[in-house]
Structure formats: C-alpha cells, structure tokens
Amino acid sequence: MGKKSTLFTALFFTFLLIACGSSSGTPSGSSLPDLNYVPAVPYSVKDYSLEPVSGKAAFAYFNDEKIFSGWNLGNTLDSWSSGSGHETIWGNPFVNQELMNGVKAAGFGIIRIPITWMGHIGKAPDHRIAPYRLERVSEVVEMAHKAGLKVIINLHHDGSTPEQGRDDGWLSISKAYKKNDENEKITYQFARVWDQIAAYFKNYGDWLMFESMNEIHDGGWGWSTEFKMFPNLQMDIINKWNQVFLDRVRAAGGNNASRYLIIPSYCTVPEHTLSAFFKLPEDSASGKLIVTFHYYDPYEFGIKGSRSSWGTQSDKQKVDNDFAPFKTQYIDKNIPVIIGECGAVLQLYNDKAIETQARQSRFDYISHVFATAKKYKLVPIYWDNGLTTGNGEKFGLFDRRTGKANSQDSEALIKMMINAVK
C-alpha cells in the first residue's frame, strides 16, 4: 500500500480502538477519585465581599455595558519557562495600575488576561494551586476592575502544543484522544483547577468572566491530518471539557451560579466554531454563555509577517465571509461572540517602500477587521504581547509601564480600533 493508504488504515484502526474502548482505556483500578471529589482541606476563597450581579443575559449585558472592543494583556501572566508560568519571563514588566488606566482611557471596554497555571499546580488528588499564584492573579484582576474594565481570565499555555508530538502543557488533547486513561487523568486535573479558580473568585461580580481554555489542538493548529479525518474524536473531548468547566464553575458557589462563561471550540478556529461537531455545554443558567474564536487571517500577513500588502476587495470580502455566519448561528440567537484574539504584526524592512506598504496595510487591516466585527455585532479583542522589536511577533501597542501608546503609529491604531466599533 502507498503511504496515504497506510496512514488511513492506521488512523482507522486507532478510531476503532478509541470508539470501542481499547486496552489503554480507563483502568479498572483507577486511583483517581471521580470529578465530584471533595478535598479534605477546602480550596482557598478570596476574602472579598459578595458583590451584586446584574442578572442580565450575556447579550443584554454586553450591549448595556457598551462592551464593543477589548485588549489582551499578552505575554505576561501567560508567559512561562521550564514548565512554569511567570509574569516577566518574556520581557514585559510587572502589571501596574497605570497600564490598566491607560487601556480604559483609550476606550476599550474589556480586558482578557491570559494566565498559565502550570508549575503552580500540585499533585493529585487535590492538584492544589499555589496561593501566591491565585493572589497575584487577583491583584491584576482588581487593577483592571478599579480602572473600570470588564475582565476575562482563562487557562492559557496549560494547553500549549506547539507542534505534533510535542506537548508543553499538561492539558493535552493529543494525549487525551489517543488514550482513555490519559483523557481521564487530564479531565480530572482540569476539573480540579477550575474548582479552585471558581471558588477563589466566587464572590466577584459578573464583570469577571471565565474562559475555559485557549487554542487547544493536537499540534496541527486545527488542521492536522488526524483531525480532518476524524474531527469528532477531538471535538467530542473539547465539548466534554467545556461541559466539565461549566459544571465545576456552577457548583463552586457565590456568584458562579450565574457567571458569564466563555466557550471556545477546537483551536478557536472560526470554521471549527461554526462546525456541527461543536456543541455548547448544557447550562443550568439561562443566557450566560459567550462564544469565542481567534482571527489573524491571512496568517502570512496577520502573524508571520511575510506578506507586506493587504487590502484588495478580495481581502476585505474574506473578512465579511468569515464573520457573517456568526451572526446567523449565534448573534441572532442572542449569544454574544467575542473575537478573543485578533490583530496584525508590525513589519519592519530595510526597504522603506515595502515598510511603508506594510504600515498602511496594517492600518487598513485592523480598522477593517474591527469595523466588520461591529457590522455583525462581534466584539474584537486585540492581541497585544508588548513586543515592538526583535524577531518575535510584534503586536505591542501600549507602553506597559505608563499605559500610554508606545508610538504615534500605535496611538493611531488604537484610535482606529475604538472609532471602528462606535
């Protein structure tokens, strides 16, 4: 048989083994407690007064609170090294109040604070999160709230799988869909981690939202051969994890019974978020779910920076074509949709003509993406990782120490985003 036939056969038998239950499935003598395990020592709860909540459905809340655009505190609490989350390891300073005030003053309504928890999580069965990590997250969350921003926190690089065959994080769908016992172990830890986050923040108002996970995939960035051949295998796990997330949050007490929860699909790819395989979790609360996807298309322009021009009619029409289905599938059913990450990198060239082209294209792209999001009532949240130099992805717009725009171009881009969604 040829290579393709061999691959298909191997995957087919893998599918049968998983579907029917293989010898690598849940061991009969599993040492893990069930998902409803209660630790002997209760999880930590922040000493924070129980705040009133609006009682509104998420769609009404976003409209009434004028949450039209947002900003990501990227490469900060999500940064990590040697298997442990940090705050400054990727070059950004410690978060301060000036930054939060600046983001609010610029006109953004919501901030997404990506968080990597790995390295601060203890062993089974409790998987206890280190108190100092929870406390620092709460300090940053409260800075944002003090500035007047709504806030999203999540599990970020805990699910990092940069390429096939390599897992940097513990929340590995690559392991989970291949072995039932790995799936059980990972799902159990996922439940315990969300038990603790939800318990710690249970008294915070509905301005604080939880997002279950970030860009979970098997190393193929949403388009691996295995996923394309049997998308239901991994999508079913995503659906299960989202349901576990919701159930653990709802059971954690305080305001969590009605907290707004943000639900991603596989790798937060737009097409997978519209897929029939993606199912929103069943919720005891009504109207509290928010859908999310990420958008950097085209990749060569948005992230890689290998394409300096953007802005043809075809380019613009693609954004329309990508966003329009979300209105029909979610917005028209009063389910809010956020574009949890979007943007385009700063491109620098030795050739001034090409650099000028890339600069103008970036202006055109970001303003068009935000305006098209408004057209379909989606909420775009810009990805800012603080970077403006070097060989990495340069998305930085704010000076992280002062809360001011880091350049005249950045100031112009921020104004374009805010004006586009007014």
The pLDDT of residue 14 is above 60: no
337 DSSP β-pair partners:
291
Cα distance between residue 288 and residue 256, in whole Å: 11
* Residue 59 domain flag: no
The pLDDT of residue 9 is above 70: no
* Residue 210 domain flag: yes
The mean per-residue pLDDT over the stretch 406-417 comes to 98
- pLDDT band for position 30 (50/70/90)? low
Query: pLDDT by residue (tens digit) across 113-137?
Result: 999 999 999 999 999 999 999 999 9
Q: Could you give phi then psi for residue 327, rounded to 5 degrees?
A: -65, -45
Residue 113 and residue 77 in contact, taking contact as beta carbons nearer than 8 Å:
yes
* Residue 271 domain flag: yes
State residue 6's pLDDT score.
39
The pLDDT of residue 95 is above 90: yes
* Residue 57 domain flag: no
The overall average pLDDT reported for the chain is 93
* Residue 389 domain flag: yes
- Identify each DSSP E strand in 35-97 by its residue range: 70-73, 80-81, 84-85
Residue 227 and residue 266 in contact, taking contact as beta carbons nearer than 8 Å:
yes
* Residue 295 domain flag: yes
Q: Could you give phi then psi for residue 338, rounded to 5 degrees?
A: -110, 145
294 DSSP β-pair partners:
341
- The whole domain housing 244 covers 67-420
The pLDDT of residue 29 is above 90: no
Query: pLDDT by residue (tens digit) across 15-27?
Result: 434 443 333 333 3
Q: Are strands 150-154 and 110-113 parallel, antiparallel or unpaired?
A: parallel
Residues 6+ apart with CB under 8 A from 287: 57, 58, 59, 60, 334
State residue 32's pLDDT score.
78
Annotation says 87 is catalytic = no
Query: pLDDT by residue (tens digit) across 158-191?
Result: 999 999 999 999 999 999 999 999 999 999 999 9
Residue 291 and residue 330 in contact, taking contact as beta carbons nearer than 8 Å:
yes
Expressed in percent and rounded to 5, the helix, strand and coil fractions of the chain are: 45, 10, 45
The mean per-residue pLDDT over the stretch 61-75 comes to 98
Q: How far does the chain reach from its first CA to its final CA, in angstroms?
A: 59
Question: The CATH number of the domain where 335 resides is what?
Answer: 3.20.20.80
Q: What predicted TM-score, i.e. pTM, was given to this entire model?
A: 0.93
Active-site hit among 87, 184, 341, 393: 341
State residue 33's pLDDT score.
80
- pLDDT band for position 62 (50/70/90)? very high
The sign of the dihedral angle between the CA atoms of 50, 52, 58, 63 is negative
Q: What is the DSSP string of 265-294?
A: -GGG-HHHHSSTT--PPP-SSSS-EEEEEE
Query: pLDDT by residue (tens digit) across 134-159?
Result: 999 999 999 999 999 999 999 999 99
The tally of domains found in the chain comes to: 1
C-alpha triplet 132, 202, 204: angle, nearest 5°: 90
Task: Identify whether 39 is preceded by a cis peptide bond (ω within 30 of 0).
Answer: no
C-alpha triplet 14, 17, 18: angle, nearest 5°: 85
The mean per-residue pLDDT over the stretch 78-100 comes to 98
* Residue 306 domain flag: yes
Least confident residue range of 16-20, 139-143, 218-222, 240-244 = 16-20
State residue 19's pLDDT score.
42
The mean per-residue pLDDT over the stretch 393-411 comes to 98
The sign of the dihedral angle between the CA atoms of 237, 238, 244, 248 is positive
Instruction: Give per-residue burial for 105-135: e unless 16+ CB within 10 Å, then b.
Output: ebbbbbbbbbbbbbbbbeeeebbbbeeebbe
Q: Strand, helix or coil at 382?
A: strand
Annotation says 139 is catalytic = no
CA distances from 51 to 55, 146, 250, 259 (A): 12, 14, 17, 12
* Residue 42 domain flag: no
Q: Strand, helix or coil at 74?
A: coil
Active-site hit among 215, 282, 300, 411: 215
Tokens of 286: 């009504």
Tokens of 308: 């300096």
